[in-house]
Chain A
Amino acid sequence: MIKVENLNKIYKSVHALKDINLHVKKGELFAYLGPNGAGKSTTIRILTALTNPTSGTVSINGFDIKNSGFAFFKSNSIKSRQQCGLVPQSINLDQELSVYENLTIHGLLFRMGKSERNKKIEELLSYVDLSSRKESLVKELSGGMKRRLMIARALMHSPSVLFLDEPTVGLDAGMRRKIWGLIKKIQQQGTTIFLTTHYIEEAEFLADRVAFLDTGTILVVDTPSNLMSRLGTWALDRLIEDKMEPIYFSNREEANSYIASQNESFTLRRVNLEDAFLSMTGKKVK
């Protein structure tokens, strides 16, 4: 569905992406996890044709995103754009227009007919729980409502791939869960989802596969459970000279016998994705 080969992006002084290779399957929920400045947004911007790559090839559903030939009409990139829905990191709604108008403009941009548009608007607004705010101006909505509206807008033209750039940033725990539920629901309808986040638990909860990205390089791509089981299933946190150093065990018995052999007390916990990330990068994500 999404194919990225030897992708590089160089801004004037920053080598933002270094030889990225990715292959996201149809229907998959793929999470792109990395700290601030890792290159997550840059990748999404390239995949959605907002920024040109310095080198490498990208195709969505078989359509190359690069414009071939004359800039006036760019048929290939237009075909690939029709397939994609994008929820960017920063809110980009028309603040002075109503919820309904924002969705209508999106529908028009994606060449939808009037009856199709209006049907989809009703459907999506109830899907994201905003039916009662249809006529409200966007500037009167709360942050969480704006996020949900952005997701609804991206789904207007029924894209086969949805790109979500940190969809839950700045939201409270309850709203985050709600959006997670929404994302799962979208995937169940058959949409491929490419999601970036720096919340590890978000990737752990949602993703079929995760890529760890650090300063423009992909460290590893695997399922969350594989990444975690590389370390073990249980973990103990020890404090060694001001630093937390977890030890991992493949089963509970091993862990218990270790605790018995020490004269301190430990809390035993499950290995999580953060452990996997830390052991790969040696630094904290958040």
Chain B
Amino acid sequence: MIHSLLAVYYREMLIMRRRLTRLIPSWSVSPLLYLIAFGYAMGKHVEIDGHSYMEFLIPGLIAMNSMTQSFAIASEINIARFYWHIFEEIQAAPVSDLSYVAGEVLAGITRAILSTTVILILGTIFGVNLSCNFMFWLGVLLNSFVFSSLAVGLAMLVKSHGDQVLLTSFVITPMAFLGGTFFPLENFPVWGQNLIHILPITHAAKAIRAASLGNTPQISSYVVMAATGCLFFVLSVMCVKKAKD
């Protein structure tokens, strides 16, 4: 079990290492743009709960980025499955569905953690020092667990890479903007707030922000993320079968 999990993970890491020189710039570009556009241009005079807008924004960016980057594992899986047919090589090997999903999820989490580090470095350059304590990293970890599990499951269900792109723009992109990443949720109408509170990304943004600004995050956020992650993970394992035929 652990052996084949590591094999799946190792493969993703080898591919990622080859691409690292392209990935790091791509991880930096969009946070950089947000920081310049929202942080500098708009946020000079904005203050939220006693913090500068930049301090508010960076944890949000980290929540958003750990979501999109861990979800991006779906593209890797799809490319391997539809263009390179690697999925068959793994399926023909003595690898259980559980090990396969666990290996891919772990790869998604690793990707999210690396891109989070990139943002933290950018933040330092912009003069924002967050406290990266245990609860902060736990938030990042659980958030990427939720979205890489979701990604693997959806990657098993789609019939082409095009469908995947569609899912990303309908599921992930809206969440990226709504989940309390760029602006405080208090500005929304109540029904909207309730709706948004169902999204796991909202809990991630809240938890990561509270932890990184030195406040005490709500344990319930972590519980919601862990539970959602586990649910998606189990569903993903059940979806692997569906990817055959």
Q: Which positions in A face B, CB cutoff 8 Å?
A: 11, 48-52, 71-74, 78-79, 81-82, 84, 86, 88, 90-97, 101, 105-106, 108-111
Contact = CB atoms under 8 A, between A and B. Distances in A.
B11 interface: yes
Given A71-B237, A96-B18, A49 B96 contact: no
A92 B89 contact: yes
Given A11-B245, A86-B88, A97-B14, 9 more contacts: A52-B244, A72-B96, A74-B96, A79-B94, A101-B14, A106-B89, A108-B3, A108-B4, A110-B94
6 contacts: A72-B97, A84-B92, A92-B84, A94-B15, A96-B15, A108-B6
A81 B94 contact: yes
B238 A71 contact: yes
Interface residues of B, number: 33
Dominant SS at the B interface? helix
B85 interface: yes
Interface of B: 1, 3-4, 6-8, 10-11, 14-15, 18-19, 80, 84-86, 88-98, 237-238, 240-241, 244-245
A48 B92 contact: yes
A94 B94 contact: no
Contacts of B244: 50-52
A97 B15 contact: yes
Nearest to A90: B85
Nearest to A86: B92
Contacts of A101: 14
A79 B95 CA distance: 10
A11 B245 CA distance: 9
B94 A78 contact: yes
A101 B4 CA distance: 16
Given A78-B94, A97-B18, A108 B89 contact: no
Given A52-B244, A81-B93, A88 B88 contact: yes
